[in-house]
């Protein structure tokens, strides 16, 4: 109960959530068998609030956009780092950058130019 009070006080320090949902501090214990239905009701309340105000759909759309960009980034990285010509050049360039003999950003640009332009 003491911890619950501290968490309630701490929540007031945070700005309002973008979802529009006002979080609740609740106690529950699966071992002792209390509070689980109330916590689940809060989850359903969150879902209802965010679906009604459009946050749920917008958040899901943003998640899908993020997944798309992550898939693109992973595919590009796999191709880039899997390229035999890049592997060799990367090892040499990495040593030069670490020894201060080459600039990191210029080296990255050169590696990318080599990969995309041959």
Provide the domain limits for residue 8: 1-55
* Token output for 42: 């809060």
Angle at 76 (CA atoms; ends 74, 80), nearest 5 degrees: 115
Residues 9 and 20 in one domain: yes
Picking from 35, 55, 75, the residue at the C-terminal end of a domain is: 55
CA dist., res. 96 & res. 82, Å (int) = 21
Q: Which residues pair with 34 in a beta bridge?
A: 29
Q: Does the pTM of the predicted model rise above 0.85?
A: no
Q: What was the pLDDT predicted at 118?
A: 87
> Residue 72 is part of a domain; what is its CATH number?
1.10.287
* pLDDT band at 18; cut points 50, 70, 90: very high
Closest by Cα among 44, 50, 42 to 21: 50
Taking only the tens place, the pLDDT of each residue in 85-115 is 999 999 999 999 999 999 999 999 999 999 9
């Amino acid at each position: 109960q003491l911890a619950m009070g501290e968490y309630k006080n701490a929540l007031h320090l945070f700005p309002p959530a973008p979802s529009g949902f006002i979080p609740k501090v609740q106690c529950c214990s699966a071992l002792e068998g209390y509070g689980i239905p109330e916590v689940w009701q809060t989850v359903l309340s969150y879902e209802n609030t965010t679906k009604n105000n459009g946050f749920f759909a917008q958040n899901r759309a943003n998640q899908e956009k993020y997944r798309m960009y992550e898939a693109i980034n992973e595919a590009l990285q796999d191709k880039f780092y899997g390229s035999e010509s890049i592997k060799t050049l990367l090892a040499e360039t990495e040593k030069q950058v670490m020894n201060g003999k080459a600039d990191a950003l210029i080296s990255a640009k050169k590696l990318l130019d080599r990969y995309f332009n041959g």
